[in-house]
Amino acid sequence: MTKRKNVAVIGGGVSGLAAAKAFDERGHRVFGFERSHDFGGVWELSRSYPDVQTQSPKDLYRYTDLAMPGDYPEWPKGTQVHAYLHAYAAKHKLARLFQLNTNVVSMDRRQDGLPGWTLELEAAGNTWTQDFDFVAVCTGQFSDKNILTHPGQDAFTAAGGEVMHSSEYTDPALVRDKNIVVLGGSKSATDIVVNAARNGAKSVTLVYREPVWRVPYYVGGINFKRLLYMRAQEQQFNGWGGTPLGKAMFTAFKPLIWANFRGLETLLKLQLKLKKWDMVPDVPIEKDASCSLPIVTPGLFEGFEDGSIKPIRGTYDRYENGEVVLTNGDRVPCDVSILAVGWKLGVPYLAQEFQDKLIEPDGQYRVYRLAVNPDLPDMGFVGFNSSFCTILSAEMIANWLVRYADGKLAKQPSAEEMKKNIDDMLVWRRTERPAAKVYGGLCSAPFHFRHFDELLSDMGAAKVKRSNPIAEQFSYPDADAYGTFLASAPQYSAG
């Protein structure tokens, strides 16, 4: 009989909901803690910038047992994703498991000598501690803002200028008749410049360091999910491990793979007119492809074309006399400076001795299957990894993690096996595939199928692929199919 555990789930975003459902379904007592007043994480309305929409098409951004509503567009808006997450929580009665407005302040091993962790919690000015047998960390990669300051900022704000993080840009009224400068080249930066240009800004400037490959929603008129999200594409990247035969095949097909990626680059250069904007990246696309590869915000290149958005390659040096002075000497008039400079990766509430076991000196994370570390027992991560289909990925890992916690994986790994795998993956990232080092190595793209295959195999699923080999090879990860694969894994109940 599997012992019923008290399980803490930290975070009430996509991943926290997936984890709460997976542990609750197996019969564990789930205690969810979300510091905000609402579920949704990055999709929670007070944190989302206007017009935010998904990068993933809607059938790639969903749980296995709940499709997004048929009347949602192919790339749903933030408000729609938020409503969808609420619908999922309602379907599985997850709200009863969560305490909202409750912050996890610290997390350390239990003082009573039992396995598990003690969380220090804080809500409405009260703090208390609570012991748990297992903790699912679901606080994602977007919880602690990167804060940048530049010389002259105090004088700039004292004179009425505004400086904010991209997540604080929640009201387009803010940009009307103002000179807006956005620093960053990621999707949030491009979303904000397009939104500002459409909402009456006097001028909009995008300041970015280096050009990166960006993928439009439609490549050559075809929805990118039909071109880029398939096993056949994934196998063209140099993945980890592999059999000698697989490696030999990869070498034999190298010229074809090379031609395929050059073709894709040519298409992108022509479609987006990258040369005209001096935005052709130096790095081959196959070397760059990872979770940091942004989707083109609709309206971005059109904004360059009609002059409503001015792209400048460079970075900030200082603020001076109502202007941003760039390192190349350019001066850009500025009333509002929006810093789309991302988030700090980490688990700041975890006791330092465990952070040291989790994070290598070069910032790479030591996590097996992107979920657990053998030196951090009785805990695991859900959604710690970025992905191009994060909801499905979180659900797959949550189902794996509950079995791991219960010792119910068909291939329950020993500490030694996990350590060896982690070390091998670190070597692969550092030497063979540097793009995989992005976000501390916590990115499963473009190897979604490979990652899911491993998780399902560990779980002992009887079915891990669609019966139609053509569909399996040439179409995107199908959430309905993954629902049936998960159901084919051995089931059990705790308690």
Ligand X SMILES: Cc1cc2nc3c(=O)[nH]c(=O)nc-3n(C[C@H](O)[C@H](O)[C@H](O)COP(=O)(O)OP(=O)(O)OC[C@H]3O[C@@H](n4cnc5c(N)ncnc54)[C@H](O)[C@@H]3O)c2cc1C
Nearer to ligand X, 59 or 317 (CB): 59
Q: Which helix (H) or strand (E) holds 123?
A: strand 117-123
Residue type, 166: S
CA 316 vs CA 9, 167, 229: distances in Å: 40, 19, 36
* CB distance 99 to 113 below 8 Å: no
CB of 42 to ligand X, least distance (A): 4
Using CB under 6 A, list all residues that contact ligand X: 10-16, 33-36, 41-42, 52, 54-56, 61, 103-104, 138-140, 142-143, 188, 349, 383, 387-390
CB of 482 to ligand X, least distance (A): 14
Q: Alpha helix (H) ranges present in 30-130?
A: 78-91
Q: Render the burial of 186-213: b for 16+ CB within 10 Å, e for the rest.
A: bbbbbbbbbbbbbbebebbbbbbeebbb
CB of 120 to ligand X, least distance (A): 10
Q: Render the burial of 76-94: b for 16+ CB within 10 Å, e for the rest.
A: bbbebbbbbbbebbeebeb
Q: Is the peptide bond before 298 cis (omega within 30 degrees of 0)?
A: no
CB of 269 to ligand X, least distance (A): 24
CB of 250 to ligand X, least distance (A): 27
- Local structure of 91: helix, strand or coil: helix
Nearer to ligand X, 150 or 165 (CB): 165
* CB distance 306 to 286 below 8 Å: no
CB of 14 to ligand X, least distance (A): 4
* Cα–Cα dist 31/119, whole Å: 11
| Bridge partner residues of 339 (DSSP) | 165, 183
Nearer to ligand X, 26 or 82 (CB): 82
* CB distance 57 to 479 below 8 Å: no
Nearer to ligand X, 57 or 152 (CB): 57
DSSP state letter for 476: P
Residue type, 9: V
- Local structure of 399: helix, strand or coil: helix
* Cα–Cα dist 46/221, whole Å: 35
CB of 13 to ligand X, least distance (A): 2
Nearer to ligand X, 94 or 326 (CB): 94
Nearer to ligand X, 131 or 320 (CB): 131
> Which of 228, 180, 187, 177 has the alpha carbon at shortest distance from 205?
180
Helix%, strand%, coil% for the chain, nearest 5 = 40, 20, 45
The residue whose Cβ lies closest to ligand X is: 41
Nearer to ligand X, 179 or 233 (CB): 233
Nearer to ligand X, 142 or 277 (CB): 142
Tell me phi and psi for residue 131, to 5 degrees.
Answer: -95, 145
Nearer to ligand X, 116 or 342 (CB): 342
Nearer to ligand X, 103 or 170 (CB): 103
CB of 394 to ligand X, least distance (A): 6
Nearer to ligand X, 52 or 332 (CB): 52
Pairing verdict, β 331-333 and 323-326 = antiparallel
CB of 302 to ligand X, least distance (A): 20
CB of 491 to ligand X, least distance (A): 25
CB of 485 to ligand X, least distance (A): 19
